[in-house]
Chain A
Amino acid sequence: MKNLHSTEEKYRFSSEAELIFEETLKREVPNREKEETWSNTELDGKTPFLDVFEEMADEPYDIRIANAIVRSWLETNPRIYPGDIVLGVARPRRFVYEHFSWGIQNQSWNQDLRRHPAYADKLSDILRRMDKLYGPEMQRDGYERKLLPRKAEIFGEDTDTSGLMWVGGYQGHTVPSYPLLLSLGIDGAKEKVLHYMKEYGEDEEKTLLYRSMLVILDGFTEYAEQYASAAKKAAEEFPEYREIYLEAAENCLAAAHKAPETLGEAVQLMWFYCLWDWCDCVGRLDQYLYPFYVKSLNEDGREKTENYICALWIKLFENGIHNVTLAGVTPSGNDATNELTYLLLQLCRRCHKTHPRVSVRFHDGSPEELMKLVVKMWSEGMSDPTVASDNNVISGLCKYGVPLDDARDYTILGCQEIEIPGKSNFGCEDGMINLAKVFEYALNNGCNRFGQRIGPETGNFTDFKSADELFDAFEKQVKHIVPIWAELTNYGVDIRNANRAKLVKSIFTDSCVERGLNLDAGGAVYNYGVVETAGSAAVADSFAALEKLVYNEKKISPETLKAAIDANFEGYEKERQMLLNAPKFGNDDDAADKWCVRVLDCFWSEIGKYKSRRGDVFTGACSLLESGIEMGRYTWAMPDGRHAGEPLSNTIGPREGNDTSGVTAMLNSVAKLPLEKGIGGTTLNVLLPVGTLTTEEDREKVAVAMTEFMKNGGQLAQITTANLEDMKDAQVRPECHRDLIVRIGGFSIEFVQLSADTQNEVISRYGNA
């Protein structure tokens, strides 16, 4: 029996699986290494959406969109790689397509498409045809007609609110119910839809939804059968793979109809469905497949079992699936870690790339080997897996009213978000608020720095006698901005709902079919909203600096401070230095940490008073990707000594370079935050000093640090271990460092793909390591 826990040598799979691996890593897949994960087959010049919308002009919109989705899959030619035992590849991004997050997308702006030879002679024709497609259902229309005018109405046409918020959002990732898919199969799902269609017979709107769901399911059957035929044909053409292709054909046929009985049927069905779900996230993979895995081990032996798991992983890897979650507790509270958990981690260890992101859940009873393996993977240069704390997330979800068993079944998805798989639509990234801008308004009596009014008059800064008085002003500005954000963001929800594109997800998300509601109409069981939180550390640091230097020690007068900020510290370097050297969040120093707690508590509590149009309240999150840098560009100088334009933190952690008291101090600071109100998911990058993970002994120490962090209030964390020299060299010779992967916000990304600004920012973090 091989040791799946091994942290020593990398795991060797069965000889066949090893061959598959080698083949895969050799083959060229367009765009595999880009973030464009949903378009990794070449462009083909086809226009299925436009065709269907024109051909079916008389049909209701819902029926057209369902047919367009189906057509776009059926028109993507089956592709079978040599030796493929699990079949199916993603389809190209065409001029109109449906996206797991945005819904129907107009890509007429896309220069790659415009320039592509496949479309060269058809371009003007396509653009003309697309013009006719605009209607209330199209996102851009909703955005331009509703959201932007309303925003201008609220703030005033000429008022500068750049860098304050982002609304309407991405509203993206959800994990549909793979257990439901695997237990019903496609035929079972059709029966279920038909059952409810009969039940709601009178309701036209619901009937239309059910009809469009049936179009999808019938299309899915046809698609799977198409692949079955292709595999049979391939079996004749390539005798050396005959057995494999014949088996794949059987699996495809099964996937077209029935609930799977074997591992092969299960992974094929999962994979087809995952493709149709636009390669979104697959949730708790080690849980969903485990029964099939055990059965296969017993009936077919280890080699065949590993081949299937391996083949599925390669599909997830090659097609850029967003997130896979492993381990944690089961809905009944037992340890969910199993053999498959380790096998999947070992596979991830072999495919060292940015996708799929892997998240591992930990609870008090998680096996020590699991953390050991995770740390070992970090030490090998991976920033995956992300670790997630069951303690924090489950109790946070419960406080928002999620029943314990469902809370225990949470998954990580997207970049670093949290949801209940198969039951929720948290609207990952409904929008964002930059608290640093809100702070600017508090400092300017409710105006932006140009004197344009944004919020209520909350007093002149120079009249305040304490940091608490300024905090009151900040709180009032927060209370003013939050409902505006919520209103605008809900237009985004409306726009997506009007789109009615998430049919594939809706069929397999609990309660959508039962209630006859599309996912974006609030069809899921849990419909919380999520606000991304930018600038919390900079605001906390600003309060801490003001409290110490202006109000307690009185070393800087309020007037001087205000003048220094207004001047972006030009001529005030002495004051700036004093501010820079005031206590900073991230050093386990309550003088600063308490402010970060207050700021987040104030903001996230306020957010929780408003509801997403999907039905439940908004919650906090912080998975900013590169937005901390972007928002920073629009944010003026602040009393923490930060110059105008400098980056804000990309995570819930300290501003880059401000944590100078060691890793444990930083972890303690973050664990003090009210992260249970940030159940949308709050990322934290832990930057370990170069060389910290080289010996077994050191790795054990890091394992202890991360385990304790998660026990004591931490939520999510990821480790960056790339080394400084490599990054500097990569700036000079990018071609030599394509394998250099770093974490930014919730994102694993190739260092060389980053802008020079972002590269410098990552490097400056290392300067303090």
Chain B
Amino acid sequence: MASELLNISGNVFNIQRFSLQDGPGIRTTVFMKGCPLSCIWCHNPEGLSDECELSFDVKKCIGCGECAKICPVGAHLMKDGVHIIERERCTSCMRCVGVCPSRAIEQAGRIMSAREVIDELMKDKAYYKENGGVTLSGGEPLLQPEFSKVILAESKKRGISTAVETSGFADKDVFMSVASLADIILFDLKLCGNEEHKKYTGVSREKIDINLKAAADAGIPVILRCPIIPTVNDNIEHFEGIVSKAKTVKTLKEVHIEPYHTVGLAKHRLIGTESLFETEPLCFERAGEIADLISKKLDVPVKVSK
């Protein structure tokens, strides 16, 4: 690859090494910022917006007031000894991030070049072996297709196996241009019906289904990732839906049951957004039961993600 191609930049909100849950082997997962869906249970809300955001953890704040001093619009206030951010004033200039000594204020999202990402991936090259490697996740990698393609192509060139974790929501040509560079796709299956899908995630399944079929037709191995959310899709109809969808995917390798957890709620608070949805986490026992149930009707392994 021409080295100038690696200058392309994208918005990344986390790079996690030694990821054991995002595909085969030991992987480094690159979380890309921005998502076209708005699942009400979203566990990575800092991945929703495609722009860098201000993240504030009040627990880490020592009340030094450096942020207030530097803020050009007076968005940082101390009220009764409590540090409050008036987000409507904030222009995301991020000057406060640089002066916060305790990292209570951080920037969610960082503009990185593909080269920087590749350098990070290479640090764990020795651990990847044949099946481990890089997983692009998010957010939604398909929202940054050119950036994603460069990372995937360069990784393959360097002998790093590639995976893309995606909702599958994109135009088919965009989807295929990225997906064809992936050795495996972790394809979300959130809800099976168009109406429900639209109700809970904001988008309909039409494009998603087209892309799921396209991936299978192109012979790309697929893992279906099924978040199970109590009160939303923890029901037999949905499990049957998963089974019948799964049966249409010729290249299906595994099905993963992903039990709902509440980590997303705390993350919402950090970036100053609010979750309109809250329910009890799904316990591992129940997830195991669901996996067993589905497993009986499929020929592929059904696993519970931790």
Q: Which residues of A come within 8 Å of B, CB atoms?
A: 573-575, 577-578, 580-581, 588, 661-665, 668, 691-692, 694-695, 698, 701, 704-705, 708, 711-712
Contact = CB atoms under 8 A, between A and B. Distances in A.
Contact of A662 (B16, B103, B306): B16
Contacts of B20: 692, 698, 701
Contact of A701 (B17, B25, B64, B103): B25
Interface string B91-122: 00000000001110000000000000000000
A663 B19 CA distance: 10
Contacts of B127: 664, 704-705, 708
A312 to B, nearest CB: 38
B62 A588 contact: no
Contact of B62 (A573, A691, A705): A573
Nearest to B15: A661
Nearest to B126: A708
B151 interface: no
Given A581-B101, A581-B102, A664-B124, A705 B66 contact: no
B132 interface: yes
A711 B17 contact: no
Interface string B121-137: 00110110100100000
B18 interface: yes
Nearest to A667: B127
A574 B62 contact: yes
Contacts of A580: 102
A225 B17 CA distance: 61
B271 interface: no
A769 to B, nearest CB: 12
A400 B83 CA distance: 58
Given A664-B17, A668-B123, A712-B126, A574 B66 contact: yes
Contacts, number: 57
A578 B123 contact: no
A711 B126 contact: yes
A692 B62 CA distance: 34
Interface of B: 16-18, 20, 25-26, 62, 64, 66, 101-103, 123-124, 126-127, 129, 132, 303, 306
Contact of B64 (A574, A588, A662): A574
A662 B123 CA distance: 12
Nearest to B17: A662
A137 B55 CA distance: 67
Q: Which 7 A-B pairs have the closest CB atoms?
A: A577-B102, A662-B18, A577-B101, A662-B17, A578-B101, A664-B18, A708-B126
B60 to A, nearest CB: 8
Identify the interface centre among B17, B26, B127: most chain A CB within 10 Å of its CB: B127
Given A664-B17, A698-B20, A581 B103 contact: yes
15 contacts: A574-B62, A574-B64, A577-B62, A577-B102, A580-B102, A662-B17, A662-B18, A664-B17, A664-B26, A665-B18, A694-B306, A695-B303, A701-B20, A701-B26, A701-B132
Contacts of B25: 701, 704
Contacts of B132: 701, 704
B26 A705 contact: yes
B123 A665 contact: yes
Nearest to B123: A588
B57 to A, nearest CB: 13
A581 B62 CA distance: 14
Contacts of A664: 17-18, 26, 123-124, 127
Contacts of A577: 62, 64, 101-103
B146 to A, nearest CB: 28
Given A665-B18, A704-B132, A574 B124 contact: no
Contacts of B103: 577, 581
A559 B64 CA distance: 20
A696 to B, nearest CB: 11
Given A665-B17, A708-B126, A574 B306 contact: no
Binding site secondary structure of chain A = helix
A553 B17 CA distance: 28
A728 B64 CA distance: 33
Given A577-B102, A704-B127, A691 B306 contact: yes
Given A665-B18, A665-B124, 19 more contacts: A573-B62, A577-B103, A580-B102, A581-B102, A588-B17, A661-B17, A662-B18, A664-B127, A665-B17, A668-B123, A668-B124, A691-B306, A694-B306, A695-B303, A701-B20, A701-B25, A705-B127, A708-B126, A708-B127
B144 to A, nearest CB: 23
Contacts of B62: 573-574, 577
Nearest to B284: A691
Contact of B18 (A573, A574, A663, A712): A663
B106 to A, nearest CB: 10
Contacts of A692: 20
Contacts of A712: 126
A704 B16 CA distance: 18
A671 B23 CA distance: 26
A371 to B, nearest CB: 13
A675 B153 CA distance: 37
B251 to A, nearest CB: 20
A357 to B, nearest CB: 27
A588 B28 CA distance: 14
B12 to A, nearest CB: 15
A575 B101 contact: yes
A459 to B, nearest CB: 28
A698 B25 CA distance: 8
A424 B16 CA distance: 45
A704 B123 contact: no
A708 to B, nearest CB: 5
Contacts of A588: 17, 123
Identify the interface centre among A691, A701, A711: most chain B CB within 10 Å of its CB: A701
A581 B26 CA distance: 28
B164 to A, nearest CB: 20
A704 B26 contact: yes
Identify the interface centre among B16, B25, B64, B102: most chain A CB within 10 Å of its CB: B102
A261 to B, nearest CB: 47
Contacts of A581: 101-103
A575 B64 CA distance: 10
A324 to B, nearest CB: 29
Contacts of B26: 664, 701, 704-705
Contacts of A694: 306
A619 B101 CA distance: 40
A315 B129 CA distance: 42
Contacts of A573: 62, 64
Nearest to A663: B18
A724 to B, nearest CB: 15
A690 B128 CA distance: 22
Nearest to A580: B102
B230 to A, nearest CB: 21
A728 B26 CA distance: 30
Nearest to A589: B123
A486 B306 CA distance: 52
Nearest to A666: B18
A684 to B, nearest CB: 16
Contacts of B129: 704
A665 B20 CA distance: 14
A578 B104 CA distance: 11
Nearest to A712: B126
Contacts of B66: 574
Nearest to B66: A574
Nearest to A549: B101
A662 B129 CA distance: 18
Nearest to B63: A573
Contacts of A575: 101
